[in-house]
Structure 1
Amino acid sequence: MKDNTTSWSCSCSSWKLCLLSILLLTETITAVKLPPGFTVPAVMAFGDSIVDTGNNNNVKTVVKCDFQPYGINFEGGVATGRFCDGRVPVDLIAEELGVKSIVPAYLDSNLKPEDLLTGVSFASGGSGYDPITPKLLAVISLEQQLKYFEEYIEKVKNLVGEERKDFILANSLILLVAGSDDLANTYYTLHARPHYDVDSYTTLMADYASDFVTKLYGYGVRRVAVFSAPPIGCVPSQRTLGGGLLRDCAEDYNDASKLFNSKLSKKLDLLRQTLLGIKSIYIDIYNPLSDIIQYPAKYGFGVANKGCCGTGALEVAVLCNKVTSSVCSDVFSHVFWDSYHPTEKTYKAIVKPLMVKYVNQFV
């Protein structure tokens, strides 16, 4: 499916009329049934590689994927910088809401002014709630993502004016997806927080998450979908690193995810009580992904413990490349694309039920 805004931008003779056409179009075509009067002008994302749509292409880091075989199932087989064989959750959610099918990266050099009005991603693969996490891999911190968001707000204001800018901020759906790299990289693999036990570290993460949502609120954002941490111990690379000889799920990693998730959920409940008008919704992706991993055949998958790229046990980012890594014969049989990230098919299996489950909570 192509982004409908492209053809509109080409056919409009007046810039202001073009903007109006885009806004009308994106507010009327939807895939999921929306509540009456529910309007979503744009979808935006902050966080890590799950919703990075190419920002890391512009960063000096090893956490990159703007090369094949990444993107083999993306439109045209292009490696856009998405850590996937195809599209990622922010794209799929925007499509479900009828906004557009591809959400560009904010740092994309080909970004058009009209793209801003329907949403961009500020996320960076390898980032996290803990400020140490992005420093370890030289990627874009959440703090820097907010600075880019400030730039974005000013650009939108210049395009459509103060009133429409405020409307977009208050009514757009903002995704916040982080925490995996804090646990998998900072805490368990690199041990960059040696003086923290799991309980205190997950508290630190939840506090940073709450602070970030509060900052978004200060910019005028009201609808924030905050994703839980996944069953990180069942991700192929973490099975390899922490699952023993049989590469079982590393249950201590999963326990850490669940502990963080319980704290995150409570923090978001508290914010809804203290920040007037905010819809900060906790989105449980732990259980849906866990079910797919435990019962892959139920969802049409055959392989859940290895990625499709290379051996599937460790290859991710620069290690998953067309020179040293082969690709499995059937991507659609795999839950995971590389050793860390799900396939587009897996994301699709998760996103639609999530939208049905949570969309009414944003009204």
Structure 2
Amino acid sequence: MRISLVFALAFAIFSTCVYSQGVTLVPAIITFGDSIVDVGNNDYIHTIFKANYPPYGRDFKNKEPTGRFCNGKLATDLTAENLGFTNYPPAYLSPQATGKNLLLGANFASAGAGYDEHTSLLSHVIPLSQQLQYYKEYQSKLAKVAGSKQAATIIKDALYLVSSGSSDFIQNYYVNPFLNKASTPDQYSSYLVGIFTNFIKSLYGSGARRIGVTSLPPLGCLPAARTIFGFHESGCVSRLNTDAQQFNKKINSAATQLQKQLPDLKLVIFDVFKPLYDIVASPSQNGFTEATKGCCGTGTIETTSLLCNPNSYGTCSNATQYVFWDSVHPSQAANQILADSLIIQGIALIS
């Protein structure tokens, strides 16, 4: 994988851009979505979906719990490093999102958010519609820092990342009887993909041209899903994985149509289903010893709430052996594998 990564980056090097933070393959990274990519926005809003306390961040720089739902770096952090960034684009609601830091891009993601507005409202987090409004606000701030000409270039050439959909199913559809009785998983997927399509059109209308969107992961392999929905089924919950795969087919089809409709749009759907499923199915081949539960606490239910905390009994000592950090989110070690996969899949976005 590392050899492939080197070749991929070498191939893309001709598109290198030089900005204030050094040599990078894109001038900035702008991120929208949920807890998989949230770097701390939820620290600044009233919600229980926070990760700004130990043991979150215990393997991050200075062992600091920044609001990332991980023991260390997210896949997007590692992707930024792969692209030449030495600092990460800041959480937009944080005090760091000011001045020259805005030249790096910005992160608008909010843990618990989904394509469905109701998913975000249920969790009291920042919906995609509000994230988009913050992005437009960011553009104005960027113009003041960089000047309108350079700001326009940054907006056009930046890499846009979107991660959403998992919360819609795990925290809304599967546990909301009003919703899952009114719609089949297939119908709900179509509804979400319609929102995705409109969101991409809005991003495009605001200047975005290089957009990478994550597919759904194997939802049925998440430790929390096994605990809540697995009953006595051994291994991953097959029906949840089937739903995720059906959604992924729809979003790929929608992306193909969008590229036909919108001139100069580069849109890649990152397949995170297969690489994560492969790790879970064959953990030892990827350097892991545990793929059925997370490192924090029992690893079966602790996730985006206060259940994963400094007093969580049973938290593992070495997260590098675990595919999952808590019952939903990958460990830094798993994120490294995912990031390597993303950079290769996304070569079209940086070439």
Normalised to the residue count of structure 1, the TM-score between the two structures is 0.89
Give the deviation of 1:93 after TM superposition: 1.1
5+ residue gaps, structure 1:
1-29
Please tell me whether residue 37 in structure 1 is matched to residue 15 in structure 2: yes
**Contact in 2 for aligned 1:50/1:341 (Cα 8 Å):** yes
Letter in 2 for 1:36: F
Structure 2 counterpart of 1:107, from 93, 111, 114: 93
1:134-149 alignment, distance < 5 Å: 134-149=120-135
Comparing 318-327 with 129-138, greater Cα deviation is found at: 318-327
Cα distance in structure 1, aligned partners of 2:195 and 2:220: 22
Structure 2 counterpart of 1:185, from 159, 167, 171: 171
Give the deviation of 1:362 after TM superposition: 4.2
What SS does the corresponding residue of 2:88 show, helix, strand or coil?
coil
**Contact in 1 for aligned 2:97/2:106 (Cα 8 Å):** no
Q: Which residue of 1 aligns with 2:21?
A: none
Comparing 349-358 with 231-240, greater Cα deviation is found at: 349-358
Give the deviation of 1:247 after TM superposition: 5.2
Q: Which residue of 2 aligns with 1:79?
A: 65
Letter in 2 for 1:185: Q
Comparing 104-113 with 196-205, greater Cα deviation is found at: 104-113
Give the deviation of 1:115 after TM superposition: 1.2
Cα distance in structure 2, aligned partners of 1:81 and 1:290: 26
Give the deviation of 1:110 after TM superposition: 3.2
Letter in 1 for 2:14: P
1:14-33 alignment, distance < 5 Å: 32-33=9-10
Give the deviation of 1:101 after TM superposition: 4.2
**Contact in 1 for aligned 2:212/2:346 (Cα 8 Å):** no
Normalised to the residue count of structure 2, the TM-score between the two structures is 0.92
Give the deviation of 1:192 after TM superposition: 5.1
Structure 2 counterpart of 1:127, from 106, 113, 134: 113
**Contact in 2 for aligned 1:35/1:360 (Cα 8 Å):** no
Q: Percent identity?
A: 37
1:136-175 alignment, distance < 5 Å: 136-175=122-161
Q: Which has the higher contact order (CA 8 A, sep 6+)?
A: 2
Comparing 41-50 with 318-327, greater Cα deviation is found at: 318-327
Give the RMSD, CA atoms, in angstroms: 1.6
Cα distance in structure 2, aligned partners of 1:202 and 1:85: 31
Please tell me whether residue 331 in structure 1 is matched to residue 308 in structure 2: no
Give the deviation of 1:35 after TM superposition: 4.3
Letter in 2 for 1:47: G
What SS does the corresponding residue of 1:32 show, helix, strand or coil?
helix
Letter in 2 for 1:206: V
Cα distance in structure 2, aligned partners of 1:269 and 1:100: 33
Q: Which residue of 1 aligns with 2:251?
A: 264
Please tell me whether residue 60 in structure 1 is matched to residue 71 in structure 2: no
Q: Which residue of 2 aligns with 1:22?
A: none
Give the deviation of 1:361 after TM superposition: 4.5
What SS does the corresponding residue of 1:135 show, helix, strand or coil?
helix
Give the deviation of 1:195 after TM superposition: 1.1
Cα distance in structure 2, aligned partners of 1:192 and 1:113: 46
Q: How many residues are matched?
A: 334
Cα distance in structure 2, aligned partners of 1:50 and 1:111: 20
What SS does the corresponding residue of 1:44 show, helix, strand or coil?
strand
Cα distance in structure 2, aligned partners of 1:360 and 1:224: 10
Letter in 2 for 1:332: T
Please tell me whether residue 280 in structure 1 is matched to residue 257 in structure 2: no
**Contact in 2 for aligned 1:156/1:165 (Cα 8 Å):** yes
Give the deviation of 1:250 after TM superposition: 1.1
Structure 1 counterpart of 2:288, from 297, 301, 306: 301
**Contact in 1 for aligned 2:57/2:71 (Cα 8 Å):** yes
CA deviations 1:214-245 (Å, max 9, x no partner) are: 10001111000011000011000000011123
